[in-house]
Amino acid sequence: MQNSEISLQVQGLCASYGVTPAIRSVSLEVKRGTIVTIIGANGAGKSTIIKTICGLVKPTAGSVRLFGEEVTGLPTHVLVKKGISVVPEGRRLFTKMTFKENLELGAYARSDRMAVRRDLERVLNLFPDLKDRLSTVVGRFSGGQQQMVAVARALMNEPRIMLLDEPTIGLAPAVVDRISELVVEISRSGVDILLVEQNAEIALEIASYAYILEAGQVIAQDAASTLAKSEAVQKAYMGI
């Protein structure tokens, strides 16, 4: 069944590395206009879900639908053209290239160079601190700034949905706050968000719906505000 209110629908997704299963029958969805989060500890399978959705890991079972279209197992560059953007774990920037070159690489799938130039302006408006540093080599930026570059690069693809893999990990609290504000701002501008996080506090604060992943399986799901109040969640994921 097609449902135009659902941007991303994952059903019964399984993936393995060799013979070891990493995710088992994961089902989740992102509704239009929402921020959805997947919370899980180290090794729970969060990155594997993102990689399997975007064609970097082959699913052994299950399906992925993007804007109502079956896209299971399609290669990343095809999905990018369909409006998905990924901010990968560990950022994966070209640290020897400039900020501007990194942004231009984010738009590689687009052919309208005029529109890309306009978008460069629009995207830069979200990053006032970095606006004047287009010709700086990204390796000279701080960790927080590099994370901003990774988000900016993902925006250059004009995404309709963005998948973010632990964008706040290892960053100072003030930078974490800035990044979570940025994610909310991007969501408000009309981009749907799937956010994977170990930092449950931040994720549950900005998301409307959340899934909890343990050992490759979704063990709970609910409105983020409800999970944030759950004693079990607080104990396991929020250090309360």
Ligand X SMILES: Nc1ncnc2c1ncn2[C@@H]1O[C@H](COP(=O)(O)OP(=O)(O)OP(=O)(O)O)[C@@H](O)[C@H]1O
Residues that bind Mg ion (CB under 5 A): 46-47, 89
Q: Which helix (H) or strand (E) holds 195?
A: strand 192-197
Which of 43/73 has CB closer to ligand X? 43
What span, in angstroms and rounded, lies between the C-alpha atoms of 194 and 158? 16
- Binding mask 76-115 toward ligand X (x if CB under 6 A, else -) reads -------------x--------------------------
Residue 41, helix vs strand vs coil: coil
Contact between 186 and ligand X per CB under 6 A:
no
Residue 196's closest CA among 171, 221, 164?
164
CA distance 155 to 149: 10
Output 6 or 154, the one with its CB closest to Mg ion. 154
Nearer to ligand X, 22 or 80 (CB): 22
Distance CA 90, CA 103 (A): 17
Rank residues 23 and 206 by Cβ distance to ligand X and give the closer one: 23
Q: Taking CB within 5 to 8 Å according to partner kind, which of ligand X, Mg ion, none is near residue 22?
A: ligand X
- Residues in contact with ligand X, counted by CB under 6 A, come to a total of 12
Site for ligand X in 24-83 (CB under 6 A): 40, 42-48
Q: Closest by alpha carbon to 88, among 191, 6, 182, 169?
A: 169
Structure tokens at 186: 């991007």
- Smaller CB separation from ligand X, 116 or 164: 164
CB of 16 to ligand X, least distance (A): 9
Contact 30, 7 (CB under 8 A): yes
CA distances 20 to 12, 16, 45, 88, Å, are 17, 5, 12, 23
Q: Work out whether 19 is an interface residue with ligand X (CB under 6 A).
A: no
Among 27, 98, 198, 230, binds ligand X (CB under 6 A): 198
Shortest CB 167 distance to ligand X, Å: 12
Largest CA distance in the chain: 52
Q: Which is nearer to ligand X, 61 or 105 (CB)?
A: 61
Q: How far is the CB of 89 from Mg ion (least distance, A)?
A: 5
Q: Is 111 helix (H, G, I), strand (E, B) or coil?
A: coil
Q: Which residues bind ligand X (CB under 6 A)?
A: 17, 22, 40, 42-48, 89, 198
